[in-house]
Structure 1
Amino acid sequence: MLKVLVSGCLAGRPIRFNETSVPVCSPIWEKWAAEGRLVHFCPELAVGFPVPRPAAEIVGGTAAGVLDGAAHVREVDGRDVTDLFRLAARRALHRAVEANVALAVLVDGSPTCGSSTVYDGSFAGRTVPGRGVAAEELQRHGIPVFHEGQLEQAASLLEELERNDLVAPDLPLAERLPRP
């Protein structure tokens, strides 16, 4: 059975920067949970960020730029947390490999997990198209990333992968990933 890496806050736990959660209520989610497919993981907690914590945004570029050293992640007070966000991305990838996941469903808008939008770096509440740093790292390594509003698309891909045997369940994810 193929697994799905999911943001820890999607489980209803109040672990986001502002002590909130993003609970998911969906028959797809409930089915995956009952089947034991969900692998909950919060990259920010995995590197020691507290709850609550200051808001953080990608500044001066994109998540790809953060991973490549051309952009930064800063907290609202100006503290540079780029290295911690890079480490969080690596830990998310490691967890995905360890759990042998086929895809990820991550909370959108986050500088870590955003899959289609992130905040623009101005701390003015404006979003722009883009990915968070962990979402970018997973994508770079061939792990499709969806947000919580894309469960139907994620479920379709998961079914296709299993139906067409496109992912060999006995082959560890690390051996299936393309090399960056």
Structure 2
Amino acid sequence: MILISSCLIGEEVRYDGRHQLNPTLKALVDKGKATAACPELMGGLLIPREPAEIIGGSGVDVWNNTARVVTCSGKDVTEQYKMGAKRFLEICESQNVKTVILKDNSPSCGSDAIYDGTFSGEKLNAPGVTTALLMAHGIQIFNERNFLNQTL
């Protein structure tokens, strides 16, 4: 089974209440080859919500308690991001998921890139909070662009 970020299959769960539909990924779910979940919602965050970025590093640094996830107004949402990541990992473990496709640039799901914590649009080549946790548990991570080159 493959687990996919809910926003990529057309669910309106992004911080701005929108989605990032990828028809190919939606077809995987429709055919029963994949399922979807949103770690940010699983952590208790609402729709819509303020944009958030990792301040002080990457998702790995969040787990090492040297970085935080903060909204654009300064609210610390680190614990919600960690809780969502843990619940997402629980789904992977309970459903024997070995492959996950996540939305890049997200402070939770980013794999190749996340925003740099300045809310300026600049990015870092680093993982988000959920991605870092899944990678530490040996789960194969793709994003909405690089999965196309793989046989799933």
Q: Which band: TM-score by shorter chain?
A: over 0.9
Q: Does 2:1 correspond to 1:6?
A: no
Task: Give RMSD over aligned pairs.
Answer: 1.3
Aligned residue number for residue 50 of structure 1: 46
Match of 1:39 among 35, 40, 43: 35
Map 1:29-178; keep pairs closer than 5 Å.
Answer: 30=27, 32-153=28-149, 155-156=150-151, 158=152
**Distance of 2:10 and 2:97 partners within structure 1:** 21
SS in 1 for 2:75: coil
**Distance of 1:115 and 1:12 partners within structure 2:** 20
Q: Quote how far apart the aligned CAs of 1:92 are.
A: 1.0
Unpaired segments ≥5 residues, structure 2: none
Aligned residues: 152
**Aligned AA for 2:20?**
V
**Which string of whole-angstrom CA distances, capped at 9 and with x for unpartnered residues, describes residues 104-140 of structure 1?**
0000000000111000000111111111100110011
Query: Is the 2:59–2:129 Cα contact (8 Å) retained in structure 1?
Result: yes
**Distance of 2:129 and 2:43 partners within structure 1:** 13
Relative to the length of structure 1, the TM-score reads 0.80
**Distance of 2:14 and 2:109 partners within structure 1:** 11
Unpaired segments ≥5 residues, structure 1: 159-180
Bigger radius of gyration? 1
**Distance of 1:34 and 1:151 partners within structure 2:** 17
Relative to the length of structure 2, the TM-score reads 0.94
SS in 1 for 2:23: coil
Q: Quote how far apart the aligned CAs of 1:34 are.
A: 4.4
SS in 2 for 1:101: coil
**Distance of 1:54 and 1:29 partners within structure 2:** 26
Aligned residue number for residue 21 of structure 2: 23
Q: Quote how far apart the aligned CAs of 1:83 are.
A: 1.2
**Which string of whole-angstrom CA distances, capped at 9 and with x for unpartnered residues, describes residues 69-124 of structure 1?**
11111011111111111111111111111121121000000000011100000011
**Distance of 1:108 and 1:148 partners within structure 2:** 7
Identity of aligned residues (%): 34
Please, which moves more after superposition, 144-153 or 129-138?
Answer: 144-153
